Amino acid sequence: MQRTNEIFERKNTMGYFEQLAEIRRQEAVQGGLEKAVQNLLAKTDFSPEKIAEMMEVPLDLVEKVKKDLGTK
């Protein structure tokens, strides 16, 4: 639980199950962003830089998704 608090940069104000729910919510958001980036990479001619700017995500995320698409 201490590591979770460090990740979210907050004091322990939630119980264990609430923290797990928050982690799962954040993972779902991340998964949704990655899916949207995948769609843009596959269906447009936008550069990774343009996609990162449009989606307001780090360029590293777009590059990772692009690399993952290339290995599938």
For the stretch 34-55, pLDDT in tens is: 999 999 999 999 999 999 999 8
pTM of the predicted protein model: 0.64
For 39, the domain range is 2-71
3 CB contacts (<8 Å, ≥6 apart)? none
- Say yes or no to pLDDT of 14 above 80: no
Judge contact between 7 and 30, C-beta under 8 A: no
Q: Report how many domains make up the chain.
A: 1
Structure tokens at 8: 């979210």
**Residue-wise pLDDT tens digits, 58-72:** 999 999 999 988 865
